[in-house]
Amino acid sequence: MKPDERIPPRTYSTIVMMIFSAVVAVAAWEALRRWPSPAGAQPSNPLNAIADRREIIQEIKITNAKLDRILAQLKSGTTRVVVELVEKTPASPPARQD
C-alpha cells in the first residue's frame, strides 16, 4: 500500500462493529443453547409427585366444602340480592377553547 493510500476511518469502525456483532451473536447462541428446558426444572422424584397430588386433592376437597356451604346458603332462601338503580348525571359539555 502506498503511503498516500489510506483506509478511511469509517471502514475501520465498520470492521470493528462487524466483529463486535459476530461476538455478540455467538455469545447469544451459546447462552440459548445452554438454557434449560422448562421440563428439566421439574423435580424427578416420584414420591414428591404423589405428595403433590395428595395436596391438590386435599385442596379440592376444601374448595368443594366451601362451595357446598355457599350452595346451602343460597338454597336456604336467606340470601337476598338487592339491585339499586344509580341515576346517571349528564356529562358536562366540553370546555370551550378560545
| Domain assignment present for 86 | no
Q: Domain for residue 81, yes or no?
A: no
State the pLDDT at residue 69. Answer: 95
DSSP state of 4: T
The residue written with cell numbers 455478540 in the block is: 24
Domain of 64, in residue numbers: 9-37+45-76
Specify the pLDDT at position 71: 93
pTM of the model: 0.38
Contact 73, 79 (CB under 8 A): yes
**55, part of any domain:** yes
Q: Rounded distance, CA 68 to CA 73, Å?
A: 9
Assess if residue 95 is contained within a domain: no
Neighbours of 72 (CB within 10 A): 9
pLDDT at residue 65, as a whole number: 97
- Per-residue model confidence (pLDDT) at position 18: 92
What mean pLDDT is reported for the chain? 81
Distance CA 73, CA 65 (A): 12
- What are all long-range contacts of 16-25, with beta carbons under 8 Å and residues at least 24 apart? none
Q: Which residues of the chain have pLDDT under 70?
A: 1-5, 7, 9, 35-47, 93-95, 97-98
Work out how many domains the chain is built from and give that number. Answer: 1
